[in-house]
Amino acid sequence: MTSSAPASPATEPIVALLTEARQRTLDLIAPLSDEDLRAQHDALMSPVLWDLGHIAHFEELWLTQNLDGDIRFAEMPGMYNPFEHPRRVRGALVYPSREEAIALMGEIRARVLAKLETVDFSANHPLRRDGYVVRMVLQHEYQHGETILQTLQLKRGEPYRAPRRYAIPAVTRDFALGAMVSFPGGPVDIGTADRGEAYDNERPTHRVSLRPFSIDAAPVRNGEFAAFIDDGGYRRAEFWSDAGRAWLVETGAQAPKHWYRQSGEWHSRIMDRDGAVDPNRPVCHVCYHEADAYARWAGKRLPTEYEWEAAASWDGVTGRSRRFPWGDAPATPARANVDQLTFDTAPVGAYAENVSPLGCYGMIGDVWEWTSSDFHGYPGFDAFPYPEYSEAFFGSEYKVLRGGSWATRPGAIRNTFRNWDYPVRRQIFSGFRCARDD
């Protein structure tokens, strides 16, 4: 291959971000055998080779084919189109070898980098302006990294062994069990007008008026959740909604996913680490119904996504919303338990900066938090740049989750970010905190 011209000053940071995103993807899969990459480990998850091919083809679609002119496809045709091939059938597709998959990712990337040399990101084009489309592709790779980690937690055979780890800081702040903070009610700005990185479902900013409420100062912890179980939480119908009871009957669940009893103690396996659950870490791998039942047991309820966002972002002193609980500075592994490489939740209070103006700890990182809200477009929602990212999923069958998890990359989380899943799902790194009316 002939060497290309050096990147222009405008594309240099973008190239560095793309390179870093790819390095992380390759680091995550490095410990996996060829069989691990090809297998469908769970009906809910794709073979990792599917994610790899999909990452590459999505990038090719948006950063070569759709970069100028009309958008020809929203998702690429062929085996890596998620709508043509739903997850449960992806195990039956014919995949390239690991070497071929990685080579294809590299070939597409080389073409993308060559193309980016010629792109004018200052142009008044909604896809290119401020580099939006590149950040969309970056976030897509970040999100599939979290998806791959969900698969690895579920993987068959030998547990996944992490390639390297970030250390979790020591706990320096104490949050009393069950402590709540009060929001006085009144108008708050929800969502964002940002067009540089936000998804369409985060826009537009809109002012809502909230009634006074209290919200847990920390996510619900394993020790608290164990108390719910010990109190017959999974057996007492009064705590469960109709749909929750149906889920209980169907699954026979008695504890969060990956928990098991050993000599009278709760243990869990997180990747390749097996041991007693830490009572001070946020509970993880619970579905919406479990969160909802716990809240009822505790005499509380789940927050709406507006309440959640107000508690994470609203600065009553300045009367404006922050991008992150600590301010507008980006998420980093020092500020919050994000970026995958802790490979676990962290004890509450380990990230001293990770507190919102209202006094809520850990709203970014550790676990996605279930809210009581269905996933809908905000008033004035405008699908951009493709309806298959958000709009295709609007409706009452999905619940919104907020705040990202330990497995979320910093570039793919902020106070306004909205995730969604079915209320029965617990393959995601999901927990919750409770609220109540004041």
Min separation Cβ 45 and ligand AVJ, Å: 11
Minimum CB distance to ligand AVJ smaller for 150 or for 337: 150
- Residue 249 CB contacts under 8 Å (≥ 6 apart), including other chains: none
Count CB neighbours of 115 within 10 A.
15
Minimum CB distance to ligand AVJ smaller for 140 or for 300: 140
Minimum CB distance to ligand AVJ smaller for 54 or for 221: 54
Residue type, 209: S
CA atoms of 293 and 236, how far apart (whole Å): 9
Min separation Cβ 318 and ligand AVJ, Å: 30
CA atoms of 206 and 285, how far apart (whole Å): 32
CA atoms of 19 and 21, how far apart (whole Å): 6
Using CB under 6 A as the criterion, which residues of the chain lie in contact with ligand AVJ when the complex forms?
140, 143, 147, 389, 419-420
Min separation Cβ 247 and ligand AVJ, Å: 20
Residue number closest to ligand AVJ, CB atom: 143
CA atoms of 281 and 220, how far apart (whole Å): 8
Min separation Cβ 75 and ligand AVJ, Å: 8
The per-residue b/e assignment along 11-40, b for 16 or more CB within 10 angstroms, e otherwise, is: beebbebbeebbebbeebbeebeeebbbbb
Minimum CB distance to ligand AVJ smaller for 87 or for 173: 87
Minimum CB distance to ligand AVJ smaller for 214 or for 390: 390
Helix, strand or coil, per DSSP, at residue 275:
strand
Min separation Cβ 168 and ligand AVJ, Å: 24
Minimum CB distance to ligand AVJ smaller for 55 or for 350: 55
Place of tokens 């990101």: 121
Min separation Cβ 21 and ligand AVJ, Å: 14
Min separation Cβ 139 and ligand AVJ, Å: 8
Query: What are the φ and ψ backbone dihedral angles of 237, each rounded to 5 degrees?
Result: -60, -25
Minimum CB distance to ligand AVJ smaller for 139 or for 214: 139
- Residue 279 CB contacts under 8 Å (≥ 6 apart), including other chains: 221, 222, 223, 224, 226
